[in-house]
Structure 1
Amino acid sequence: MFVGRETELAALAAAWARTPAAMLVVGEAGIGKSRLVAEFTTTVGALVAEGGADPGSTAYAPFVPVLRRLVREYGPELVPGGGRWGLARLLPELGEADEQPELGRARLFEEVLLLVERAAERRPLVLVLEDLHWADQASRDLLAFLLRNLMRPGILVVVTSREPLRLHGAQTLRVPPLRPEEVARMLGRSDVALIVARSEGNPLFVEALADAGTTTPASLRELLLAGAERLGRASLDVLRAAAVAGRRTPHEVLRAVAGLDDLALDEALRPIVRVRLLLVDGDGYVFRHTLIRDAVYDDLLPGERRRLHARCAEAWPDLAADHWHAAGDRPRAYAAARRARRWERVLELWEQVPAGERAGVLELAARDALHAGDAVRAEELASRALDETGDPLRAAHLLELRAGVRDLLGEESLNDLREAVRIAPREARLMGALAGTLHWNGQDDEARALAHQARALGDTRSLVTLAALIALEGDLDAASALFTEARAAASDDDTRLVAYASEADVLEAAGEHARAEEVARRGMAQARRVGMARSRGAHIAANLAEPLCSLGRWKEAREVVQTALALDPPPIHRAWLLLVLGTVAVCEGSLKEAAGIVGQARPLMRGRSRGYDSCLEPDLLEGRIALAEGDLERAALLADHALTAHDLTLSRRYAWPLLVVAAQAGRIRRAPDGISTIGRVQKAHRSTFEAECGGSWEPAVAAWRAVGQPYALGWALVRAAEQDPDRADGPLREAASIAARLGAEPLRREVEAAAAVIRVSLRPGHGLSSREREVLGLVAEGLSNRQIAERLFISARTSGVHVSNIIAKLGVASRVEAAAVARRTGLL
C-alpha cells in the first residue's frame, strides 16, 4: 500500500513541469524509491521507459531496456541509419553494426541522444534508470552526456540510487523514512510502535516485520547482512563488539571492547565500512540501520554476549548500568545506575537497594523527574518515598516536594504543606512555602504572619510572599525593593526565578504593564542561563505575555506563548500560557481558536492550585467567548456558576472582570459585598461594571486611559458614545483608530455598528467641502444633476462636477452607493 510521500511527489511533479529536467532519487534499500517513482509515473501523460543496473552488469546495461522500449514504440527510423552505426551494438534486433572505430563511443552517445529527443517529439517522455549505484562507468558516462545535452522540453530523467551521485543539472530528492502515522496507515493498524522503532520507517522492513514480532525474518536478515559473508575473522569480531555496544559506538570504546590497537582496529573496520554495515559518524561508528545491529546481535551466543557486555560496561561508564544488567551482574548494574542517577534502571533493580536507603533514592528520583519536567512521575515517586520513610523530618520535606509537584499539576497542595509544618514546625523553608501557598489562596493574614516567622528563621522565599503582600497594599516601590532583596539573598536559582515571576505578576495586576514586561524579560533571560526555561521559565513567559496582551502587542504575546509551549512545560504553566493565548484570540475575533484553547486549559487546572485567581481564569475566558458569540444564555450560565460556586472575595484579579461578564449577561446589577478593589486595573474593571449596571461610562474611559490598556479603552469609548450620542464623534473615531491599530475585529464591528445607529462618520467629512455635503444631501434625496442645480442656483455642469468629486472622495461607483455611504457613516 502506497502511503505518504506527498512532498516527494510534489517535487517530482515540479521537475516534470520544467522539462527538460533530471531528478536523482536517493535512499537506502527498501525505503521506497522505486515505489515512489512508479506512483509518480502513473500521474503523467507520458511514455515511460525504464531500465536499471544490477551488481556486475555489463556496459550500458541500464540503458538497454530504455532504448529497446523506444525503438519498439517508434521504430529504428527515428535514428539516422537505423541505429546501425552505434545502437546496433546494444540492440541486436537492429541488425549488424556498421563498424566505424574512429567514431565508436561518440557515435553511440549521439544516436542515443537523437533517439531520446526524437521520441519526445512524438510524446512527452520519462526515462527511469534504477539502482545507478551499481552502474558501470560507461553507463555513468552516457548518462552524464545525456544530462549535459538534452535540450528538448518534455523529457524528464529520473535516476534512483542508494548513495548520492554527481549528476550534472540533476536535483537530488532524498526519500525519508515513513512517519509513525504513515506506518499505521500502511499496515491498517494502530499498534505499530515496535515496528516503527525496529524498521526506522523503511517500508520494506515494515512489511517484513509486520507479523514477525521481535524476530527478524531470515529473508530480511540476508538483505541486511549482505557483504558480511566476505568479512575476515577480525572484522567479524569488531562488528559483533559494535553490535553489543549499541547502535552508535565511540572509537575509544570500540577499541577497548575489541581489544585491538589503533592500527589493527582500523584494518578490521575498513571492510565493514566498505560494505556499509557500519558508517563513520564523527568520532565513532553507527550501524546503517537498527535491524543490521539486531541481526548481528541475534547471531551471538549467550556467553559471547555476556562477555562483550561486561567489556562494554568497563569501557563505557555512561552506559555501564545497562551493560552490567545485560551481562547478568545485577549488583554492579545497580551500583552503576545509582552513580549515573539512572533511576528507572535503579527501580528495575529494587531488590539491590538497601532498605534504609530506599526513601532517599525515591526522593532523588522524584527531584530529578521534576527537574526534567515530568511532574506526573515526580508526584508518583514522592508518594512512594513517603510510604517508605520512617523519618519525620524527611517526611516533612517530601510533603513539601509533593506539594510543589502538585502545584505544577494544577492540584491542591495546601494540605501537604500544612502537614509538613505540623511535623516540622521550626523548619523555615517549610513555613515559607506554606506562607506562599496561603497567599495564593487569599488567606493573607495567616500568610503574612507565617512569612514573618519564616523570615526571622532565615528563609529567603518568604521575602517573595511579603513583597507580594506589600504590593497589594499599594506600595509597589517597597515591594520591588523586597523582591530585589529576595533575589540577592537566594541560595538557589528557583527562588530567584520565583521572585521574578511574582514581581512581574504584581506589577501587571497593578497596571504597571511596561515595568512588568521589563521584569519578566529579565527573569526569562535568567531562566535560560540556568537551564530552567522549560519549567520556571515557562511560568515567567506567561507573566511576560500578559502585559504584552494588555498593551495590545498581540503578535509579540503570541510569539512568547508559542515559544514557551514548544518546550512542553508542566501542566499548570501550560494552562497559564494557553489562557493568555485565548485572551488574545478573543480580542482578535478568533473565537473558534479561543474555544479550543479553553478546552485544552481546563483539564490542566484540576484543582484550586494557585488559589481562586487561577481557577477563575477559564470561566472568565469562556464567558468572554460566549458574549463575543452573542450567546447570552451561555454567558449567563457561566456567570451564575462563578457567583455561586466560588467565593469571589478571595480573588484579587478576576472578581471584577467576572462581575462585568455577569452584568453584560444581565445576571447581576449590584456587586456582592466584600469584593476588593486593589490597584488601577481593578478600579477600571469596577468602573466598567458600574457603567454596565447603569452608571456613567466616562469614569471607565478615564480609568482605562490611565491604565494604558487600548483594547478595554476602545470598548469603553464605544459605550460612552452610545450613552451620549451628541458627543459621539470623537470617542467613536478614537475607538475605530484603536481597532484598526490592534487588528481587533470585534471592536471594529462594534464601532461601525454604533456609528451607523448614531449616524456618525468615522472618517471626518471624507474630505468633502460644505457645498459637497449640501450636494450629497440632495443626491440622497434622489435629485438629478439638473434638479440639484435648480435647487442650489448653480449650473448643471457645476452640479455634475460636485457629484463626480463626491463619488471619487467616498470611493464609490455610483450616486446610489454615495447616498448609502452617507447614511451609514453619519454624513447626513
Structure 2
Amino acid sequence: MLGTVHSSHISPVFVGRSAELTALDEALSRANAGEPRALFVGGEAGVGKTRLMQEFLGRAATDGAVVALGGCVETGADALPYHPVSTALRSLRRRLGAELDAAIAGQEGELARLLPELGEMDRGRPETEGRARLFELTVRLLEHLAADRTLVLALEDLHWADRSTRELLSYLLRALTHSRLLIVATYRADDLHRRHPLRPALAEYERLRTVTRLELPRFERTEVRRQLAAIRGEAPPEQLLDRVFERSEGNAFFVEELACSILEGSPGGISDSLRDLLLVRVEALPDEVQRVVRIAAEGGSEVEFRLLATVTRLAEDELIETLRTAVGAAVLQPSEEGESFRFRHALMREAVTGDLLPSERSRLSRRYAEALEADPTLVRSEERAGRLAGYWFDARDPARALPAVIAAAAAARGRHAFAEQHQLLERAMELWDDVPEELRRETMRQGIENGLAPAIYPDMPGDFVDLLAAISVAARLASERERALALGKRALRELEGDPLRAAWFWMERYHLVRDLSRSDGWDEISQAQKLVKSLPPSVVHAEVLTYAAHWYVVHQPAPSALETAEQAVELCRITGADITGLAAQHTLAWLTIHSGNVEAGLERARDVCARDLEPGNANVLLRGYGNLATALHGLGRYAEAVETAEEGSGLAERHGLPNTASYIDGNLAESLIHLGRWADADEVVERALGRRGVSVRMRALIAERRAELALARGAYDEARRRMEEADSSTTGPYPEPQHTLAMGRMAIALAAADGRILDVRSLLETAVGEAIPFGHHRYGWPLLYEAAAAEARARGLAVAEPGREAAVERIRKAMEDQPQFVPLWAAQALMIQAELLTTEGRDATAHWREAVAATEQLEAPLLLATARLRLAEALITTQRLPESRETAGELLRQAEAVARELGAAPLETEITTLAGRARIPLRHADEETAPPPTPAAALGLTARERDVLRLVAAGRSNRQIAEELFISPKTASVHVSNIMAKLGASGRGEAAAIAHRLGAFEE
C-alpha cells in the first residue's frame, strides 16, 4: 500500500546480542534435527526484543524455515481470544495455501474457532470436550506442518496474552515431542508485577525440558556507540555518547529516540521525560498527520486501514499520504500484509493515548464503534465482537455497551475461550444497573438464544438471575470455582418463587463442590430433587435424575437406583435432552447388568455405542465404549472387552480426545492382562501415558494397571510405587468403591506375599466394611479370593492361629451377599470355598476339581493356572494314589507352562517348589535336562540354613537357635540374615511365611 518507506531514525545495523542469537541459533539447529524447542525472551520495554526477533526470524527464513508470526494485543477485559495463534495460522495459510488446507481437511469446523475463514464452527459441542479437542487438533496441525520442515512459531508481547492463549501455549509446550517446531515468544519483564498472570505461567513453562528462558539486558556503552554510529552514519562524539548513554541507560529504543531528537535539533534539547520526548516526535509532524496518529492510538494495538479511513473521514489517497509521513517518521509501521498499521513501539502509543483528554478518548471510541456497527467487515470476524464491546465500553455508553459485551461473551464461549467470556460477563454485571430494564431483558434473551447461558425453560425472563447463571457457568469453566459458588449463593437468595431455576443452580453447585472436594454432592442433588419433584417434565428435571442415578452408582450402589435411572432415561426422551440421555442410558445399562439382566443391559450399552458420532455427543458416547468394555470385563468376557475397547480408543484418538482415549485404554489394558496378553498390555499402558492432555485421574487409572502387572510378575517394590501413585491421585474425602476395592485387593496380595497375615485381615475389614457394595462384584470376588488364599498359605504359622476362625467366617459372610449368576464369579466362588477348606485343614480336592472345570470354560489363563496348581497341591497332600500323582504332574506342567510364558514369577516359583517337593518332573522325559529341584534348592538354601529357618518359623531367637544347633549366636545371626536375603524377606515372620507357603519343611 505504501511501497518502501525508509526511516532514518532506526539503526540500519543490528547491534550486539551475540549470546542471545547464539542461543536462538542453537535452538533452531535442534529443531532442524527433530528436537522441538521453545525460547521465551524477556526484557524491559524498549530494550530490543522485537528487533532481536526480527533479526533471528530473517536468518531462520534464509535457512529454509517457515516462519509464522503472531502478536498479542493490549485490550483488557475484552481480550481477543487466541489472537496471536489466529494471526500466526493466517500467516501460515498465506505461505502454504493448499498444503495447509489439506492438513486441516475434515477438522475445519473445529479449527474455524481459531481461523474463521475456514468456514462455520461446529455447534453443540460440550464445553470441556470442545476445548480439549480444539487444543489437540491445533497441536496435531502444527506437528503435521513441522514433520518435514522446520516451523518457527513466533509470538510477540506475551505479557498481553489472553488466558486462553496462555493455556493453549501450555498445552502445546507439553505436547512437544518429535517435530521440527521452534516456538519463540517475547514479553515485557518490567510489566510482570507480582500478580501478573504470565508470571506463574512462565514458571510452569520453564520446568519443561524443551523450554529455555532468556533475559535481554540493556546495551553496554560500546554497543550504544555502535548504534549511534549506525543511525548518524558516523562515529558519535564522546560528549554526545556520554549524554545519550547516561539518559538512555542502554535502552535501545531510548537511544534511537534521543538520537532522533538530537539529529532533528529539537528546540527543547533532550527532555527529562521520555513521554515528552516521544510526544515531541509526534508534535513535529504536520497537524493532519498528528490527528491521524491520535485516532490510530485510540483504535487499539493495530488498526485496519479501512477502519481508520472511516473514522478519520479522509479520502483513501489522502490517508495513504498521511500514513506514509507517519511511517517515515518512525511513529507508525504497516503490518506484514500491509492492510493495517500499528505504532512502531507500544511506548509511543502509550504516550499518545496518555496525552488525549478523557472526553476525546470516549468520543473517538464512539466513532470506532459506530463505524464498526455500520460495516462489520472492517475488522476480521473473530475480532469483531470483542473490538466492538471494547469500543462501546470506552465510549462510556452503557446502553450500547451492554449488548455489545453480551454478544462478545457469547462469541468467546463459541470459541471455548471461557476465561475471556467470564471477564466480559463480569463487565456486563458492572454495566447492568445503568441500562434500562427492558433493554437488559432483551439483551439477555438474545444472549441465551446465542448460547450464552442455559435455557432452563422456554421464554426465559432475561433478568439478573439469568446473567448470574451465565457468569457462574463461565467462571466454573474458567476454573474460577469460588467465584461461581458465590454467584450461585446470590442467585439462590433471589429465587424463592422459581423452583426450576433454583434446581438448576443447585446442580451447578453439585459440580462445583465435587470439583473442590468440599462434598460428594448428595446434599445438592437432594435439594434439586425436592424442588423439581412436583414440577412438569423438564430438561433440568432430567439432568437432576440422571446425576442422582449416577451418584448412587458411584457412592451408594443399590438395586433401588434402577428406578431412578429408568425415570431419568424417560424424562430425557420426553424433554429431548439427548446428551444427558446418553449418560442416563449408560447408568441404566450398568444397573441392569448388575441386577442380573445381563444381556438386556449389554444390549442397551451397545445401542448407545452404535449412535452416530456427532460434535455434541462425542465425549459421552465414547465413554460409553469404556463403560461397555469394563462391563464385559467384569463378566469375564475379556476378548469382547478388548474388541470394544480397541474400537473406542481408536475413535477417541481420531476424534482428538486423548484423555478419553487413555481412559478406554485403561480398560483395554485390564482385559489384556486377564487374557494373558501382558506384553500387549504394556504397550497399551505406554501409549496411554504418552498422550498429551491426560488428566491426573486417568494417570491414576493407568498406574493401577501398572501395579497389577507388577504384582503378577512379582515386582513387589514397583507394585507398591504404582499403588502409591494411583492412590495419591484418586483418594479424596469421598472415595469410590471401584477404586477402594481394586486397591484393597492389591494391598492384600502384597501383604500376603510379605507373610503379613494380620495385615491381610485388617485390609479385608477396611475394604469390605459391612458388605461389598451392589454392582461391584467384579472387584469383590477377586478381593475375597486374595484374602482366602492368604489364609490358606498362612496355615501352620503360629501368628496366624489367633483370629483364623473369625477371618474365615468374615470371608464366608461376605460371599453370601455376592451374586454368582456370571460364570466367572461362580468359578471364583468355588476357588474361595476351596481355599477356606484348606485353611480349616479339610480336604478341598473336590472343590478344586470343580474350580478347575469352571475356569477351563473361561478366558483367564492365570486364574486357570492358579486353580490347577491348587488342585495339584490338594492331590499331592491328601491323595496318595499313583493316578493322583500322575494327574497332579500333568496339572503342574500345564500351570508351569502358562506361568513361564506370562512371566508370572511368584506363581512359577510356587509350582516349581511344589513339583520339587513332590519329586514330580515339570518336563516330559524327552524334555528334561536336569532333575527337579528339592524344596531347599528351589529356595536356594543350604542344609544348615534350612535347619535355622525351621527354628525361625517356630519362633526361636538367635540365642535359642544357637543353643539347639550347637553354634554361636553370631553364626546364627549370620544364617538368619542370609536366609532373609535369599528369600527377599523383610523380617523373620515374613521369611517363615514364605517357607510355609512353599512347603519347604515338607518331605
TM-score (ref. length: structure 1): 0.56
Relative distance call for 1:380 and 1:753 in structure 2 (3 A) is: farther
**Distance (Å, rounded) in 1 between the aligned partners of 2:253 and 2:588:** 67
Map of 1:412-811 to 2, 5 A cutoff?
Answer: 412-425=520-533, 426=535, 427=537, 429=542, 430-441=544-555, 443-455=557-569, 457=571, 458=573, 460=581, 462-485=584-607, 493=617, 496-497=621-622, 499-524=624-649, 533=657, 540-551=664-675, 552=677, 553-559=680-686, 561-562=688-689, 566-569=692-695, 575-588=700-713, 589=715, 591-592=717-718, 595-602=721-728, 604-608=730-734, 612-627=737-752, 634-644=759-769, 648=773, 651-666=776-791, 668-669=807-808, 670-673=811-814, 674-678=816-820, 679-693=822-836, 694=838, 695=844, 696-724=847-875, 726=885, 727=887, 729-739=889-899, 741-744=901-904, 747=907, 767=927
Q: Which amino acid in 2 is paired with 1:558?
A: V
1:361 paired to 2:467: yes
Answer whether contact 1:508 1:516 (CA < 8 A) is retained: yes
Measure how far apart 1:464 and its partner are.
3.9
- 2:937: which partner in 1? none
**Distance (Å, rounded) in 1 between the aligned partners of 2:331 and 2:493:** 53
Q: Any idea what SS the aligned residue of 1:654 has?
A: helix
User: Which has the higher relative contact order, 1 or 2, with Cα contacts under 8 A spaced 6 or more apart?
Assistant: 2
Answer whether contact 1:718 1:751 (CA < 8 A) is retained: yes
Q: Which amino acid in 2 is paired with 1:659?
A: L
Identity %: 22
Answer whether contact 1:558 1:581 (CA < 8 A) is retained: yes
**Distance (Å, rounded) in 1 between the aligned partners of 2:303 and 2:623:** 42
Relative distance call for 1:236 and 1:598 in structure 2 (3 A) is: farther
Answer whether contact 2:406 2:428 (CA < 8 A) is retained: no
Measure how far apart 1:403 and its partner are.
3.7
Relative distance call for 1:333 and 1:649 in structure 2 (3 A) is: same
**Distance (Å, rounded) in 2 between the aligned partners of 1:393 and 1:576:** 37
Measure how far apart 1:223 and its partner are.
2.3
Answer whether contact 1:255 1:261 (CA < 8 A) is retained: yes
5+ residue gaps, structure 1, are 16-25, 32-161, 163-171, 209-216, 775-823
**Distance (Å, rounded) in 2 between the aligned partners of 1:721 and 1:243:** 89
Q: Which amino acid in 2 is paired with 1:398?
A: F
Q: Which amino acid in 1 is paired with 2:495?
A: T
Measure how far apart 1:660 and its partner are.
2.9
Map of 1:303-318 to 2, 5 A cutoff?
Answer: 303=357, 314=372, 315=379, 316-318=383-385
Map of 1:39-118 to 2, 5 A cutoff?
Answer: none
Relative distance call for 1:762 and 1:648 in structure 2 (3 A) is: same
Listed one character per residue, the Cα deviations across residues 38-92 of structure 1 (whole Å, up to 9, x for unaligned) are xxxxxxxxxxxxxxxxxxxxxxxxxxxxxxxxxxxxxxxxxxxxxxxxxxxxxxx
Q: Any idea what SS the aligned residue of 1:606 has?
A: coil
Listed one character per residue, the Cα deviations across residues 423-447 of structure 1 (whole Å, up to 9, x for unaligned) are 1125451334433433445554422
Listed one character per residue, the Cα deviations across residues 192-245 of structure 1 (whole Å, up to 9, x for unaligned) are 97558799975334899xxxxxxxx98588325665776996999999999887
Measure how far apart 1:558 and its partner are.
0.6
Measure how far apart 1:641 and its partner are.
1.7
**Distance (Å, rounded) in 2 between the aligned partners of 1:179 and 1:720:** 71
Answer whether contact 1:613 1:654 (CA < 8 A) is retained: yes
Answer whether contact 2:305 2:341 (CA < 8 A) is retained: no
Answer whether contact 1:279 1:285 (CA < 8 A) is retained: yes
- 1:399: which partner in 2? 506
Relative distance call for 1:455 and 1:640 in structure 2 (3 A) is: closer
- 1:352: which partner in 2? 431
**Distance (Å, rounded) in 2 between the aligned partners of 1:173 and 1:653:** 46
Map of 1:310-389 to 2, 5 A cutoff?
Answer: 314=372, 315=379, 316-320=383-387, 321=389, 334-339=402-407, 340-341=409-410, 342-353=421-432, 357-367=463-473, 385-389=491-495
Answer whether contact 1:635 1:662 (CA < 8 A) is retained: yes
Answer whether contact 2:41 2:186 (CA < 8 A) is retained: no
Q: Any idea what SS the aligned residue of 1:707 has?
A: coil
Pick the structure with greater CA Rg.
Answer: 1
Q: Any idea what SS the aligned residue of 1:203 has?
A: strand
Measure how far apart 1:704 and its partner are.
4.5
Measure how far apart 1:392 and its partner are.
0.5
**Distance (Å, rounded) in 2 between the aligned partners of 1:282 and 1:549:** 57
Listed one character per residue, the Cα deviations across residues 535-583 of structure 1 (whole Å, up to 9, x for unaligned) are 766654544443344333312431453256x3244x6656545434443
Answer whether contact 2:706 2:719 (CA < 8 A) is retained: no
TM-score (ref. length: structure 2): 0.48
Relative distance call for 1:28 and 1:529 in structure 2 (3 A) is: closer
Q: Any idea what SS the aligned residue of 2:463 has?
A: helix
**Distance (Å, rounded) in 2 between the aligned partners of 1:348 and 1:436:** 37
**Distance (Å, rounded) in 1 between the aligned partners of 2:569 and 2:777:** 25
Answer whether contact 1:250 1:285 (CA < 8 A) is retained: yes
Measure how far apart 1:509 and its partner are.
1.4
Relative distance call for 1:366 and 1:191 in structure 2 (3 A) is: closer
Answer whether contact 1:409 1:572 (CA < 8 A) is retained: no
Answer whether contact 2:669 2:684 (CA < 8 A) is retained: yes
Relative distance call for 1:173 and 1:767 in structure 2 (3 A) is: same
**Distance (Å, rounded) in 1 between the aligned partners of 2:316 and 2:919:** 90
Relative distance call for 1:563 and 1:440 in structure 2 (3 A) is: same
Q: Which amino acid in 1 is paired with 2:859?
A: G
Answer whether contact 1:516 1:544 (CA < 8 A) is retained: yes
5+ residue gaps, structure 2, are 1-18, 31-38, 45-153, 155-179, 206-211, 220-245, 261-280, 373-378, 411-420, 438-461, 575-580, 792-803, 839-843, 877-884, 933-997
Measure how far apart 1:647 and its partner are.
5.2
Answer whether contact 1:545 1:557 (CA < 8 A) is retained: yes
Q: Which amino acid in 2 is paired with 1:203?
A: L
